[in-house]
């Protein structure tokens, strides 16, 4: 294998130092022909605006005041040998990969000074080789002679940020902050744009954080289009994901108002949309925004009226809802099914379910075909109002329509029957649900509660066992507490103790009333209550971790005492991941940081969750994430059991249309070859 020399290449007899320097000057002159200045990189600063039709970002020229990098030109250096070596490095480094670049630079550190490295980095920026400039910069900051160069860091961050390489740009940004300096306005602006151009929830959060710092730390006044772009990114997400960003949206609105910038119609309608999706409606704020729109003579669009109606449905504002309804009637396109459902919610909130039913029937006449969401909404309203006959009639109509997604309505029915102590109907509805749809944890949980309440412990045990064995359902603290109360009520202390041990192992919270009974029971029997359990990975959990790590699972350093934690991430658009995340959540329940959180009894398991930091994860971090990069252990052939392969496939594999199975793996070429050969 050919190796790259660590000393300057031998020149041909006809090649001189002047010739090498001349080549570099020729490169610079060539760049000048396309508008790149030889002394300073021309900053093609850009801003972003939103296209009125497509809503996509486009670049526009905008100039920022950026610091000038002071560079000693090559011909000004007194030593010929130094000019020769710098010229050689400028020609050699761009063609190499980063590890070789670092080796080449390290071989020259006996003579290399900061002005030399600055010239090389600046030269690469001139000819748009930003990655090579970044490698030189990262090598520079590790040298003993390095003194932070704010101008160079700023230009490097700006050039890399324009290429949308936000991770590298953020590294330089953090270096500037760590030096106690405030990044330039261009760095803030370009980094925000880079984050907004990348997909993912984390990038949007980082963009909001940088925007906040830009205003409070830098005291800058961002351009109008940057405000608009960030706001548009917040409201372009689905409602359930956009809800937490209300404060950020209000912060953008506040900055637009205080800076005297134009506040467009999209800003007002977007804020109203965000407010209408909150769990707690701020009526005063909504009315203030509507008043501001009237003062600015901004028309209320159909989307704005729907947001108002949605907010009214949560607080029961009948008068405002009726006014909004009249405005919607005058809009083009007629009344949407959403508007009907919001109006149904308004009257349900004030305790008039029959009026909601009339609106539902009117919706059937006007819209023709009714979707499953409308049926779910009206059945929910009737169940909450305990209108048993109407709820049953609507449910029968829903089932007969042939529409899917019956599970939600069955949950509402079962809850109504349970609250009314109609346990016979709970059982019959549960059996009907098994035949009509796929029951979830909530349905099993209600049926379990009903069996315990009627003292049918034997059948309750059977249902609990089914939940435990079905990975798509699983058990929760609620189901455990329910069965535990049944054991204590019937005096089966042995089973109660066994279930309690299981709950402690899984870190399920025991209800205080049940805990008092257990303490009395154990005290009478002179037994010790284990309130704390030592965490230890089971053999199954170890195999699961190996399989997931091969598929790309991340282990991160906690920052103290060699502690590491596992960062579970699942894809929302993957059917396998939807089932797998429930299974992993149940399997590692005792390890999770939010084990006692609200998601425990819910079917809405988050797509990301973390384990507690623990020393036992250090072994896996060393084997699979050495030096922060994913790799394959040398002893992987000892760990490739059927269970490991199964989890590897479920987490990081896929099946082709031809039926072939592929397993995703990250690492070096040697790592991949090692894994394939030993498997």
Any long-range contacts for 218-224 (C-beta under 8 Å, 24+ apart)? 218/182, 218/183, 218/185, 218/188, 220/185, 220/188, 221/259, 222/188, 222/189, 222/255, 223/47, 223/62, 223/189, 224/256, 224/261, 224/262
How distant is the alpha carbon of residue 57 from its chain centre? 22
**Cα dihedral value 665, 671, 675, 676, nearest 10:** 90
Quote the DSSP letter at residue 38.
S
Q: For residue range 534-551, what is the model confidence (pLDDT) as tens digits?
A: 778 888 989 999 989 888
pLDDT beyond 50 at 51: no
For the record, the structure tokens of 182 come out as: 């405030």
Q: For residue range 409-463, what is the model confidence (pLDDT) as tens digits?
A: 999 999 999 999 999 999 999 999 999 888 889 999 999 999 999 999 999 999 9
Q: For residue range 92-102, what is the model confidence (pLDDT) as tens digits?
A: 999 998 889 99
Q: What's the CA gap between 458 and 416, in Å, rounded?
A: 24
pLDDT band at residue 81 under the 50/70/90 scheme: confident
Residues belonging to the chain: 679
Residues 6+ apart with CB under 8 A from 594: 609
- Tell me, what's the pLDDT at 555? 86
How does the average pLDDT of the chain come out, rounded?
A: 83
Predicted TM-score of the model (pTM): 0.74
Taking the domains of the chain in order of start, what are their residue ranges?
Answer: 440-530, 536-663
Between 14 and 286, the more confident residue is 286
Strand 661-663 with 57-61, pairing: unpaired
CATH topology of domain 536-663: Endonuclease I-creI (3.10.28)
- Angle, CA of 601, 509 and 460, to the nearest 5°: 60
Residues 6+ apart with CB under 8 A from 582: 471, 472, 474, 603, 605
Q: What's the CA gap between 133 and 145, in Å, rounded?
A: 18
The whole-number average pLDDT for the span 110-138 is: 91
- Tell me, what's the pLDDT at 288? 94
Place of tokens 């009520």: 489
pLDDT beyond 90 at 466: yes
- Angle, CA of 420, 422 and 427, to the nearest 5°: 135
For the record, the structure tokens of 115 come out as: 């002005």
Q: For residue range 628-654, what is the model confidence (pLDDT) as tens digits?
A: 677 788 778 788 899 988 998 888 887
């Amino acid at each position: 294998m050919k190796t790259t020399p660590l000393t300057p290449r031998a020149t041909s007899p006809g090649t001189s130092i002047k010739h090498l320097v001349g080549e570099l000057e020729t490169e610079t002159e060539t760049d000048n022909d396309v508008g790149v200045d030889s002394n300073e990189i021309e900053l093609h600063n850009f801003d972003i605006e939103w296209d009125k039709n497509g809503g996509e970002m486009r670049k526009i020229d905008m100039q920022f005041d950026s610091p000038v990098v002071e560079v000693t030109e090559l011909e000004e250096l007194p030593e010929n040998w130094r000019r020769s070596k710098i010229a050689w490095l400028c020609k050699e480094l761009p063609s190499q990969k980063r590890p070789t670049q670092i080796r080449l630079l390290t071989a020259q550190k006996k003579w290399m000074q900061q002005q030399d490295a600055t010239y090389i980095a600046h030269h690469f920026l001139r000819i748009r080789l930003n990655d090579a400039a970044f490698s030189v910069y990262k090598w520079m900051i590790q040298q003993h002679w390095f003194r932070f160069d704010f101008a160079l860091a700023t230009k490097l961050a700006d050039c890399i940020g324009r290429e949308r390489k936000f991770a590298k740009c953020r590294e330089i940004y953090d270096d500037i902050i760590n030096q106690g300096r405030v990044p330039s306005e261009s760095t803030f602006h370009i980094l925000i744009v880079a984050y907004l151009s990348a997909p993912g929830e984390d990038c949007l959060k980082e963009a909001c954080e940088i925007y906040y710092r830009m205003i409070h730390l830098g005291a800058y006044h961002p351009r109008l289009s940057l405000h608009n772009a960030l706001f548009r990114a917040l409201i372009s997400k689905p409602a359930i994901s956009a809800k937490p960003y209300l404060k950020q949206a209000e912060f953008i609105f506040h900055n637009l108002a205080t800076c005297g910038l134009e506040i467009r119609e999209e800003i007002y309608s977007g804020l109203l949309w965000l407010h209408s999706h909150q769990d707690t409606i701020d009526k005063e704020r909504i009315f203030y925004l509507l008043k501001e729109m009237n003062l600015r003579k901004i028309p209320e669009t159909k989307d704005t009226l729907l947001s108002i109606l949605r907010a009214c449905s949560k607080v029961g504002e009948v008068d405002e809802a009726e006014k909004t309804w009249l405005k919607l009637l005058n809009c083009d396109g007629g009344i949407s099914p959403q508007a009907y459902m919001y109006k149904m919610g308004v009257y349900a909130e004030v305790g008039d379910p029959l009026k909601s039913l009339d609106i539902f029937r009117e919706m059937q006449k006007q819209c023709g075909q009714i979707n499953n969401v409308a049926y779910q909404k009206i059945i929910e309203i009737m169940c909450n109002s305990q209108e048993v006959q109407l709820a049953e009639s609507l449910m029968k109509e829903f089932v007969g329509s042939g529409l899917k997604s019956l599970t939600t309505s069955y949950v509402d029915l079962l809850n109504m029957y349970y609250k009314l102590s109609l346990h016979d109907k709970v059982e019959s509805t549960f059996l009907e649900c098994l035949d009509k749809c796929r029951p979830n944890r909530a349905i099993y949980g209600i049926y379990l509660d009903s069996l315990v309440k009627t003292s049918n412990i034997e059948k309750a045990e059977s249902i609990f066992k089914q939940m435990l064995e079905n990975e798509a359902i699983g058990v929760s603290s609620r189901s455990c507490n329910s069965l535990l109360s049944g054991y204590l009520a019937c005096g089966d202390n042995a089973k109660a103790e066994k279930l309690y041990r299981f709950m402690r192992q899984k870190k399920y919270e025991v209800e205080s009333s049940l805990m008092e009974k257990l303490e009395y029971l154990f005290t009478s029997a002179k037994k010790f209550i284990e309130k704390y359990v030592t965490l230890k990975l089971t053999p199954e959990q170890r195999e699961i971790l190996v399989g997931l790590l091969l598929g790309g699972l991340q282990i991160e350093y906690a920052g103290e005492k060699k502690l590491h934690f596992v960062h579970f991430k699942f894809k929302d658009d993957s059917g396998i991941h939807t089932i797998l995340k429930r299974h992993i959540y149940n399997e590692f329940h005792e390890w999770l940081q939010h084990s006692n959180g609200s998601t425990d009894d819910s079917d809405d398991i988050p797509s990301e969750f973390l384990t507690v930091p623990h020393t036992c994860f250090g072994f896996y971090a060393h084997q699979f994430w050495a030096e922060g990069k994913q790799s394959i252990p040398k002893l992987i052939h000892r760990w490739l059991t059927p269970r490991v392969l199964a989890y590897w496939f479920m987490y990081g594999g896929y099946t082709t249309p031809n039926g072939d199975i592929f397993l995703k793996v990250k690492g070096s070429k040697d790592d991949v070859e090692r894994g394939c050969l030993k498997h």
